[in-house]
Amino acid sequence: MSGTGGREIEQLIQLLARLPGLGPRSARRAVLHLIKRKDGLMVPLAAALDRAVETVVECATCGNVDTSSPCSICTDPRRAESGMLIVVEDVADLWALERAGVGAVRYHVLGGVLSPLDGIGPEDLTIDQLIARASEFSEIVLAVNATVEGQTTAHFITDQLAKLDLKVTRLAHGVPVGGELDYLDEGTLSQALKARTSL
């Protein structure tokens, strides 16, 4: 593309366009936004990226991303007390649970779900590492997504954990808080009715 401010700008656009949620058009808008706010946004963002490149590592214990390995969650002694280990597919799920304030728990990031069609088997996930550390905990909560692959993965892990004497649970299915029944699928509604609680 000629005239769009040289190779440096073009390269920045192409790299930003590879972020999820940004296409070529929004990447161009983002780059112009950055250039217009050089001191206020572009310089701090460049510095933040440089620092993240230097400092961010994956936790060898749980798979979380942090500036140390083991991460701040794995090394926080208060988080050992509950004895609860929450197994998630992805770091994004770990962050979502932390934002929800689920309490002083620890996590294990699987790094995906079993998917024979995509050639993803148990050895591609951190299931062996999970089995190895599971006995440190009293309860394993399988907080995988409520998809077919997620549930298959949960079943596989439950089988693997059966030999250890552990409480294995999963998240409740039901009506999302603030959700309208009218818009819910039948599967969720029938699960919510089965798992009804007394008032």
User: Where does this chain bind a copy of itself (CB under 8 A)?
Assistant: 1-9, 11-12, 15-16, 18-22, 26, 28-35, 38, 41-46, 48-53, 55-56, 58, 64-68, 71-73, 90-92, 94-95, 98-99
| Chain centroid offset of residue 144 CA | 10
Shortest Cβ 187–a copy of itself spacing (Å): 25
- Nearest-approach distance from CB 100 to a copy of itself, in angstroms: 11
The answer to whether 31 and 12 are in contact (CB under 8 A) is yes
- The amino acid sitting at 80 is A
Cβ closer to a copy of itself: 12 or 161? Answer: 12
Q: Decide the pairing of beta strands 167-170 and 84-88.
A: unpaired
Residue 178: both structure tokens together: 């603030």
Residue 193: CB minimum distance to a copy of itself, A: 31
Taking a C-beta distance cutoff of 8 angstroms, is the pair 57, 65 a contact?
A: yes
Pick between residue 107 and residue 137 the one whose CB is nearest to a copy of itself. Answer: 107
Q: Decide: 105 and 86 in contact? Cβ < 8 Å.
A: yes
The answer to whether the CB of 107 falls within 8 A of the CB of 62 is yes
Tell me how far, at minimum, the Cβ of 72 lies from a copy of itself, in Å.
7
Kindly tell me which of 50 and 128 has the beta carbon lying closer to a copy of itself: 50
Minimum distance, C-beta of residue 171 to a copy of itself, in the bound complex (Å): 18
Taking the CA atoms of residue 179, residue 185, residue 190 and residue 193 in that order, the dihedral angle to the nearest 10 degrees is: 10
CB closer to a copy of itself out of 90 and 139:
90
Nearer to a copy of itself, 31 or 154 (CB): 31
Please tell me what DSSP assigns to residue 120. Answer: B
State the minimum distance, in angstroms, from the CB of residue 4 to a copy of itself.
5
What are the two backbone dihedrals, phi and then psi, of residue 195, each rounded to the nearest 5 degrees? -95, 25
Given the complex with a copy of itself, which of 36 and 155 has the nearer CB atom? Answer: 36
Q: Give the dihedral sign, CA 85/90/91/93.
A: negative
